[in-house]
Amino acid sequence: MTTPRLVLDRIEKDFGDCRAVRSVSLDVSSGEVLCLLGPSGCGKSTLLRIAAGVERQSAGAVRVDGRVVSDARRHDPPETRSVGLMFQDFALFPHLTVADNVAFGLRRANGARRDIVASYLRRVGLDGYQDKYPHQLSGGEQQRVALARALAPKPRVMLMDEPFSGLDQRLRDGVRDETLAVLKEEGTAVLLVTHDPEEALRMGDRIALMRAGRVVQVGAPYHIYNHPVDRKAAAFFSDVNVIHGTVAARQTDTPFGLFLTPGMVDDADVEVIIRPQHLKIDEDRGGAPPPNPRLGLPARGRVERARFMGSESLIEVRMEHDGSMLKATVPGAYLPERGAPLWLSLRRDHCFVFPCEAQTKVANPWEPDRDPRGKRPG
Ligand code: ATP
């Protein structure tokens, strides 16, 4: 097994009473992008700064290529850790040319430096920009210079803190994809901090979801999205609908059918969670739609609001059984009249059932073998 490029081993960080990072262990391999994702203040940047060496942890160790660079006894400075840094404010030196900016961290003879600078500028698509100054470049171009500068010393690990958030949306997607391609080519291990779930899904080979100083879930984007560890983890990636129920004889009866809740005691409150794109809409043509085992029971409601969102439409439906509002999205333009009766059903393989409190484990009702509580609905 190859040694991970970066290991964070049981890292703790306290700022006075604030426990910013709590026993976080993570590793990143060569060529891998691990995204640290979480809400503001959850400890992402602190963890990154500890990996970089600009902050010292209260406990735990940081290793680069198997070598301890920081623990209780030693603390190597950032410049000896073989880590590259890229932040939102990419801080190019305004008085230096593009070439001098990229060459800044290189300790080589002039000729070799020139060749390295030229090769990295070519890699980021800025061949011929050597003699320009930062103020003569667009935001995206400046960001690419920052990438070339961070990569030129060939760091083993790249640490990136919201590196794309200063770019406007149209520019961002292109720069993100180009950056990812160069980093993959270089085989650099990347730890990238973001609060944007879409960015994490797009950039990450794995995502570490953080909350209140802890990592609550780590996995591939598909896994994190489709098997959230709890309601908050599900809700971090999209709006979710919550359907409440109470356990009786190891199951919960809802207007959308029964959900098995093995292991939960009678009278426990549960939440069935479903994303808006996993609700199915049928127009009311004088009766319920025909039964479909994948969808369970349909329940009726009336359109409260329908909005066109570009690639999809968002329909908010007031349910007749309890007056709750559910949100459904459908691809393209679908704008039913306010008050129109609709039947909603749940794609049951995309539902998650969690206890209302102490939500710690995923229970996907269609996945009987994955989790003791996760059984197909009865
Ligand atoms: P954001 O996305 O807003 O940057 P974050 O997840 O990166 O947030 P951190 O910046 O790591 O969060 O902060 C984690 C917690 O530690 C916060 O409560 C913050 O106020 C606190 N904190 C961070 N740096 C310091 C410091 N130097 N002194 C005191 N408290 C700090």
**Nearest atom, ligand 1, residue 43 CA:** 11
| CA 26 to centroid of ligand 1, rounded, Å | 19
How many Cα neighbours within 13 Å face the side chain of 228?
A: 23
Q: Boundaries of CATH 3.40.50.300 in the chain? A: 6-226
- A 10 A CB-CB count for 10 gives 12
Q: Is the CB of 43 under 6 A from ligand 1?
A: yes
* Domain 238-360, second-level architecture: Beta Barrel (2.40)
pTM of the predicted protein model: 0.86
Integer angstrom CA distances of residue 341 from 61, 107, 304, 318, 330? 59, 71, 10, 10, 16
Amino acid at 202: R
- A 10 A CB-CB count for 85 gives 23
User: Would you write out the chain's pLDDT as a tens digit for each of its 378 residues?
Assistant: 678 899 999 999 999 999 999 999 999 999 999 999 999 999 999 999 999 999 999 999 999 999 999 999 999 999 899 998 888 776 788 899 999 999 987 876 667 788 889 988 988 888 889 999 999 998 888 888 988 898 888 899 999 998 888 777 777 888 888 888 888 888 899 999 999 999 999 999 999 999 999 999 999 999 999 999 999 999 999 999 999 999 998 899 999 999 988 788 899 999 999 999 999 999 998 888 888 888 889 999 999 999 999 999 999 999 999 999 999 999 999 999 999 999 999 999 999 999 985 443 334 433 333 333 333 333
**CATH no., domain 6-226:** 3.40.50.300
pLDDT at 109: 66
Q: Is the CB of 93 under 6 A from ligand 1?
A: no
Q: Is the CB of 308 under 6 A from ligand 1?
A: no
Q: Boundaries of CATH 2.40.50.140 in the chain? A: 238-360
**Nearest atom, ligand 1, residue 46 CA:** 11
Distance of CA 258 to the CA centre of its chain: 32
Question: For a pocket test of ligand 1, which of 13, 46, 159, 192 has the largest count of ligand atoms closer than 8 A to its C-beta?
Answer: 46
pLDDT at 290: 84
Q: How far apart are CA 288 and CA 296, in angstroms?
A: 12
Q: How far apart are CA 225 and CA 110, in angstroms?
A: 49
